[in-house]
Amino acid sequence: MKRKLILLIMTIMTTIMVAACGANDETSVDEGVKVVTSFSILADLAENVVGERGVVEYLVPIGEEPHEYETIPSDFQKVSDADVFYVNGFGLEGWLERLVQNVGDVPIVSVTDGITPLPISDQEGEDPHAWLDVTNVILYVNNIRDDLSERDPEGAEQYSANAEKYITELEDLHDWIQSEVETVEQTKRTIVVSENAFQYFGEQYGFETVGIWQLNSHEEGTHSQIANVVETVRERQIPAVFVETTVDKRFMETVSRDAGVEIAGEVYTDAVGLEGSGAETYIKMIEHNVSTFVDGLTK
Any residues with CB less than 8 A from the CB of 153 and at least 6 apart, and which?
Answer: none
Q: Is residue 184 classed as helix, strand or coil in its secondary structure?
A: coil
92 vs 255 by CB, closer to Zn ion:
92
Q: Nearest distance from residue 275's CB to Zn ion, in Å?
A: 22
Query: In terms of CB distance, is 204 or 214 closer to Zn ion?
Result: 214
Nearer to Zn ion, 65 or 147 (CB): 65
Torsion angle in degrees (nearest 10) through CA of 256, 68, 125, 171: -70
Residue 142 is given by DSSP the state H
Strands 84-87, 108-110: pairing kind: parallel
Residues 214 and 196: their CA atoms lie apart, in Å, by 5
Q: Which is nearer to Zn ion, 162 or 196 (CB)?
A: 196
Minimum distance of Zn ion from residue 130's CB (angstroms): 11
Residues whose CB is less than 8 angstroms from the CB of residue 52 and which lie 6 or more positions away in sequence, other chains included: 32, 158
Q: How far is the CB of 258 from Zn ion (least distance, A)?
A: 24
Min. distance of Cβ 137 from Zn ion in angstroms? 15
Q: Indicate the residue among 76 and 200 with the shorter CB distance to Zn ion.
A: 200
Residue number, nearest CB to Zn ion: 270
Query: Cβ contacts of residue 120 below 8 Å, gap of 6+?
Result: 126, 127, 196, 214, 215
Of the two residues 119 and 153, which places its CB atom closer to Zn ion in the complex?
119
In angstroms, the CA 240 to CA 227 distance is 16
Of 192 and 197, the one with the shorter C-beta distance to Zn ion is 197
Distances (CA, A) of 201 to 14, 69, 154, 177: 50, 24, 36, 10
Cβ at position 235, least distance to Zn ion in Å: 26
Give the C-alpha separation, 140 to 138, whole Å: 5
3-state DSSP assignment of residue 109: strand
Q: In angstroms, what is the minimal distance from the CB of 72 to Zn ion?
A: 20
Q: Rounded to the nearest whole angstrom, what is the least distance from the CB of residue 46 to Zn ion in the complex?
A: 19
Q: Which residues contact Zn ion (rule: CB under 5 A)?
A: 197, 216, 270
Cβ closest to Zn ion, residue 266 vs residue 270: 270
Nearest to 94 by CA among 115, 65, 114: 65
Q: Please, what is the minimum distance in Å from the beta carbon of residue 39 to Zn ion?
A: 10
